[in-house]
Structure 1
Amino acid sequence: MKPDLAVLQKHVTPSPFGRGAETVMDPTYRNGTELKVDEIAFRLPEDKKSLYETFVNSIEGELYTSMFVGKSVSLKFYKLAIYGEGGHFDWHRDSTHSDAHHGMVLVVLNTEWEGGELMLRHQGIKTIVNMHPTKYARKSGEGLRPVVVAFYTDTEHKVMPVTKGTQLVLQYDVEAIKQPPREWVTPPSYTPLKEAFHCHQHIASHINTYPNLHQTLVQAVADEIRELHQAGTTVVTFPLTHLYRKTSVKRKYLKGTDSTLFDTLEKHFNVVLHPVLIRAIEDGNDYDCLEQFYAHKYQLSEDNEEEPSGAQRK
């Protein structure tokens, strides 16, 4: 909790960010430094290595029960971000580094800074997170528990200016992919939706998270689709909740409520994913950004065995 900042500052580089197809440096938008994964290593005593592995494994377990139900989840260390006094990062979405990269995890190492709150925004919902470790009682006195923040890659986020001290943030990529069925294992009696609901009930007491998709909501969607079919509508389409890379618009890469909804509706209907290419344009005003969306026909690659060539997705 009290790292030697002087050692780190000797090796850091200014943090760039993506603006369209370019990688740029703009301190008015992002002011911070970083060490990438190939520039830093965890050299822990033998008796401490298992503690770090347990820490990472516990985060993976919580992600499996709250964000990626039914998927194989792995945490990959990406970089150490450093925000000194005045450091900040305006609203943005992080780039994805693989088709299976669907989440981010942030953990702050130290305690001595002020400001630097993390803001999250998705579909008009905003939340502010105080990244300072929380205090708890233990036998030997008072201890500190780090705040672990996890969110999907298409969630916009912002680091408020640090007003005093230096904030050190470990950043991890979360890779998740649908687990293939095992022929030698008896199929479970529960549905993905029930599993998500029960897991959410289990962790609700100690994890702050957006509610998972409730069964009554899914049933309402299914009933409305049936009514439309009975009225003569043969095809019903609606957009997914999250954004995806073009190459990862597949069932096995769906995340959160998209995955749960797909798995549940597939039991009643012929469900097909259709890709739509989305292009976001800013009008140049930092305080009032306008996003305009354009849908284009998207030709799938010929080696895609999961969907027919020429399929479109929304």
Structure 2
Amino acid sequence: MSSRPALTPVLVDFKNALAEQKHFYACGGRISIATPTTVDGEAEARSSTSLRTTQSKPVTIRWDLSNPPHGGLAECKRVTLPITQQRDRDALDSLRDDCKPATFGLNGKDVLDETYRKALKMDTELFCTTFDPYSLGIVDTVTQMLLPSFEDPQTHRAVDARLYKLNIYSGPSGMFKAHVDTPRSAAQFGSLVVCLPAEHHGGQLKVRHKGEETTFDWSTPSDESKLPHIEWAAFYSDCEHEVMEVSSGHRLTLTYNLYAVPGTRHLTGRSSVLDPTRLPLHSAIERLISDDPLCGKGLVFEALSYQISDQSTLTLNAGGTLGFWCSHAYAYNDTREAPLPETLKGIDASVWESFRALGIEVKIAPIIRMEDDVRNSIAYFHEWEKARERKREPRKRCRLPSKFIVGNKFGYGNEGSAGAMYSHCAILASLPSKTSKDSATTA
């Protein structure tokens, strides 16, 4: 067996640079509500400052019943948040009464189990709202943070936020245990949750990825002098998240599915172009290439999540390939769509663009995951195969059973869907050997 080579200093630097980027999975913010007092008393003060704060008007929700009682005409109802009048308080109770129990997806089916999820829902065909995440700059922020576009027109991307559900988690005991969102299509890369200004306590949203956790606490502050706010959080769809128990009040949220689509200007009229040469990973990758870490020996280094494994393997190919196991899972639906690299997320997108900016050929490949005993059998077969080739014996093909290909590894999600599922992939960068680079320089 070949000895395991040690990582070179530049590979160690690259490994550390990857580890520093592991927090790229969620973002959030808050938007204050423009009430009559803030409009009269604070607008003038804000106008004199260089930093203007985005404000939203009070949010109105209108809805009707799909099946009105006694076959009559559907009654249109409305509630305005934050609540300032008794009629809106009554309307919020009416909205809660008109919602239905929320289900969740389990193995492609909708399941109602209030020990796992206790919440109410209303589908988009039954309500409309004055809230607009585009005009308030939320979608632009999500685009910059979670789906940045680059100068290459092939990966110039935009976010299409589509309203999916209205949910109410009421106290006591409203909650949703840890789950991963069910992808609605291969183009979906994330979710946006907007918490409207309805008084409640508890119900924190916890988002987790690769051992990291971010908590969004949208409870109503005890200091009544604080202005009401709209809170929001966006995160990648393969991130596990959980709604903690609501102790009192009503946690009212709007959920948007986030899709990657071509071109930023098509949606918002603004261009959010990032220069990949200014990404933190770019300089680390540039040093990696200039130092020729493969030393012309054709080494293949495995990058596990956002790390480079110390267990490097030797191959006989000319040149070398650096393999980066993507940090995120991606939705796919067989061969109907090819969303990658357009839907690459966070650090995965940074790695892809940094290599491309340096002229390195990159491609995406699926990952096959095997049990240890199968992996050992394949490794033994590989050594045995090489021995047979040396004796010039005829080769026998080895077929891997399809059950070892990664499929939908997530059990629980929002409402079930058979349209797409999650899988894993790797980014492969073809690094030239020092010999080929030297010959290209002298040519």
**TM-score in terms of structure 1 length:** 0.69
- Measure the CA separation in 1 of the matches of 2:215 and 2:140: 24
Distance 1:218 1:135 in 2: 49
User: Distance in 1 between the 2:274 and 2:213 partners?
Assistant: 33
Counterpart Cα distance in 1 of 2:174 and 2:367: 36
SS in 2 for 1:273: strand
Query: CA deviation digits over 1:108-160, x for unaligned, max 9?
Result: 11341111111110000012111247899xxxx96333221111111110000
Matched residue, 1:254? 344
User: 2:405 pairs with 291, 296, 303, which one?
Assistant: 296
Aligned partner of 2:148: which letter? V
Letter in 2 for 1:65: Q
Contact 1:111 / 1:132 at 8 angstroms: preserved in 2? no
In the aligned structure 2, how far is the partner of 1:297 from the partner of 1:156? 18
Partner Cα separation in structure 1 for residue 354 and residue 196 of structure 2: 40
The CA distance in 2 between the partners of 1:132 and 1:168, in whole Å, is: 11
Unpaired runs of at least 5, structure 1 = 45-51, 182-187, 198-212, 280-293, 299-311
SS in 2 for 1:227: coil
Q: 1:275 aligns with which of 342, 366, 370?
A: 366
1:28 to 108, 115, 119: 115
Provide the secondary structure at the position in 2 that maps to 1:231: coil
What CA distance in whole angstroms lies between the structure 2 residues aligned with 1:168 and 1:262?
A: 38
1:165 paired with 2:165, answer: no
Which deviates more, 89-98 or 230-239?
Answer: 230-239
Where does residue 327 of structure 2 map in the other structure? 241
Give the 3 Å change call, closer, same or farther, for CA 150–313 of structure 1 in structure 2: closer
The 1:148/1:221 distance shift into structure 2, 3 A limit, reads farther
1:75 corresponds to which of 161, 164, 167: 161
Q: State how 1:100-115 maps to structure 2 within 5 Å.
A: 100-115=187-202
What's the CA shift for 1:217? 4.5
Match of 1:156 in 2: 240
The change in CA–CA distance for 1:25 and 1:190 in structure 2 (over 3 A counts) is closer
**Which residue of structure 2 lines up, in the alignment, with residue 18 of structure 1?**
105
| Bigger Rg, which one | 2
For CA contacts below 8 A with separation 6 or more, give which structure has more relative contact order: 2
For 1:157 and 1:168, locate their aligned partners in 2 and report how far apart those are by CA, in whole Å. Answer: 17
- TM-score, normalising length: structure 2: 0.51
Is the 8 Å Cα contact of residues 186 and 331 (structure 2) preserved in structure 1?
yes
Structure-2 change in CA distance of 1:145 and 1:102 (3 Å):
same
- Secondary structure (helix, strand or coil) at the match of 2:350 reads helix
How many residues align structurally? Answer: 251
Distance 1:161 1:240, change over 3 A: same
Could you tell me whether the CA contact under 8 Å between 1:103 and 1:150 is conserved in 2?
yes
Q: Which amino acid in the other structure matches residue 276 of structure 1?
A: I
The residue that corresponds to 2:298 in the other structure is 232
Q: Is the 8 A contact 1:81 1:168 kept in 2?
A: yes
CA separation of 1:101 and 1:40: change in aligned 2, threshold 3 A: same
Greater alpha carbon shift after TM alignment, 60-69 vs 119-128: 60-69
Query: Are residues 227 and 36 of structure 1, via their aligned partners in 2, closer, same or farther at CA, if it must alter by over 3 Å?
Result: same
Given that residues 187 and 331 in structure 2 are in contact (C-alpha distance below 8 angstroms), is that contact kept between their aligned partners in structure 1? no
Amino acid at match of 1:192: P
Gaps of 5+ in 2: 1-81, 150-156, 266-271, 300-319, 371-402, 408-423, 427-443
Query: 2: distance between equivalents of 1:40 and 1:237?
Result: 47
Backbone CA RMSD of aligned residues: 3.3
**Is contact 1:108-1:146 (8 Å) kept?**
yes
